[in-house]
């Protein structure tokens, strides 16, 4: 195996011994990788300011020469974007932490995910610039993350009878977490929900579909009402942990911040 360079977003950093860090990156060319940064706590020249959570770096890595089973070695980093404006805002920081935690817990190592890399970079960049509301960015990230990961919820039509949302007479539609989609009122009578789900307005569903399918470069044109944003948050932030079967520390903290605000 040859050494390599790639652009990378830092997902996780943990201390290892007295001087080292074990770091997980989402890379553009190699997906999620885990590396060891030797003497990183002392090496100001090689790693200064580059090993912060969700920072973007151009990294150089080498494979261990003797022990082939040892971790890949992080040789050098060049900081490309530290997203400083995010770090000055506790809400922005917590949203960013939720996104990287979600990717870290879901994504397998060594599986190339260029679309996911580009999506994460986009939302972090927009969050840093404050061009789009952070709540809307989180909706965009979550709904597109689900599409990329292969478990996109069915929001356009009833999962049982395929009746389109616009043709469903009820104002609110039941979203079944276990089925991963909506069930119209008529089908719900004959096929009770799994007990894990919630009612969602048709307006919120259509807004999420638009966010998922529209050109991402037009994301700054998203005009969501407060009700649709809040309902969309509840839906996605409930469905994703249910589907992945994981709890997210950052999401728990985000909910606490919202209650306190």
CATH code for the domain of 69: 2.40.50.140
Angle between helix 134-149 and helix 226-244 axes, rounded to 10 deg = 40
CA 97 – CA 117 distance, rounded (Å): 15
Is the same domain home to 41 and 114? no
Same-domain status, 55 and 139: no
Residue 117 sits in a domain whose CATH number is 1.20.1440.120
Q: Write out the two tokens for 124.
A: 């972090």
End of a domain among 62, 82, 102?
Answer: 82
Per-residue pLDDT, 1? 60
Order of strands, sheet of 181-183, starting from the edge strand that comes earlier in the sequence: 181-183, 172-176, 197-201
Domain boundary among 19, 49, 82: 82
Confidence (pLDDT) at 198:
94
Total domains present in the chain: 2
CA distances from 233 to 1, 20, 28, 206, 239 (A): 44, 38, 28, 14, 10
State whether 51 and 93 are in the same domain: no
HSE of 71, CA atoms in CB hemisphere, 13 A:
16
Q: Which residue has the tokens 């932490």?
A: 97
* Per-residue confidence (pLDDT) for residue 153, from 0 to 100: 92
pLDDT at 44: 64
Q: What's the angle, vertex CA 104, arms to CA 98 and CA 107, rounded to 5?
A: 125
Examine the domain organization and report whether 10 and 121 are in the same domain. Answer: no
Residue 74, pLDDT score: 92
Q: How many CB atoms lie within 10 A of CB 12?
A: 18
CB contact at 8 A, 8 and 76: no
Range of the domain at 67: 1-82
One domain, residues 54 and 113: no
* Residue that terminates a domain, selected from 44, 62, 82: 82
Q: Consecutive 10-residue runs of the chain (261 residues): their mean pLDDT?
A: 88 90 95 91 72 93 80 90 94 97 92 94 94 92 93 91 92 92 89 82 92 82 83 96 93 94 80
For residues 42 and 55, the answer to whether their CB atoms sit within 8 Å is no
Q: Distances in Å between the alpha carbon of 70 and those of 29, 36, 67? A: 21, 9, 5
Check: CB of residue 97 under 8 Å from CB of residue 141.
Answer: no
In this structure, what DSSP letter does residue 176 have? E
């Amino acid at each position: 195996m040859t050494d390599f360079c790639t652009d990378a977003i830092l997902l996780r950093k943990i201390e290892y011994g007295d001087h080292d860090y074990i770091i997980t990156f989402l890379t553009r060319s190699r997906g999620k990788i885990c590396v060891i940064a030797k003497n990183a706590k002392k090496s100001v020249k090689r790693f200064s300011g580059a090993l912060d959570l969700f920072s973007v770096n151009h990294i150089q890595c080498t494979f261990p020469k003797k022990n082939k089973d040892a971790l890949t070695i992080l040789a050098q980093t060049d900081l490309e974007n530290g997203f400083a404006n995010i770090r000055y805002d506790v809400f922005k920081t917590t949203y960013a932490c939720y996104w990287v935690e979600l990717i870290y817990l879901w994504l397998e190592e060594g599986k190339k995910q260029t679309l996911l890399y580009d999506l994460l970079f986009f939302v972090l960049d927009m969050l840093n610039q404050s061009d789009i509301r952070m709540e809307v960015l989180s909706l965009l990230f979550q709904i597109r993350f689900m599409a990329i990961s292969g478990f996109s919820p069915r929001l356009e039509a009833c999962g049982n009878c395929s009746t389109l949302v616009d043709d469903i007479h009820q104002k609110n539609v039941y979203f079944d977490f276990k089925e991963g989609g909506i069930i119209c009122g008529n089908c719900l009578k004959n096929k009770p929900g799994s007990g894990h789900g919630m009612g969602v307005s048709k307006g919120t569903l259509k807004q999420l579909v638009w966010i998922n399918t529209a050109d991402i470069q037009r994301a700054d044109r998203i005009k969501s009402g407060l009700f649709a944003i809040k309902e969309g948050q509840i839906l996605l932030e409930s469905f994703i942990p249910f589907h992945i079967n994981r709890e997210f520390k950052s999401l728990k903290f985000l909910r606490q911040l919202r209650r306190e605000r």
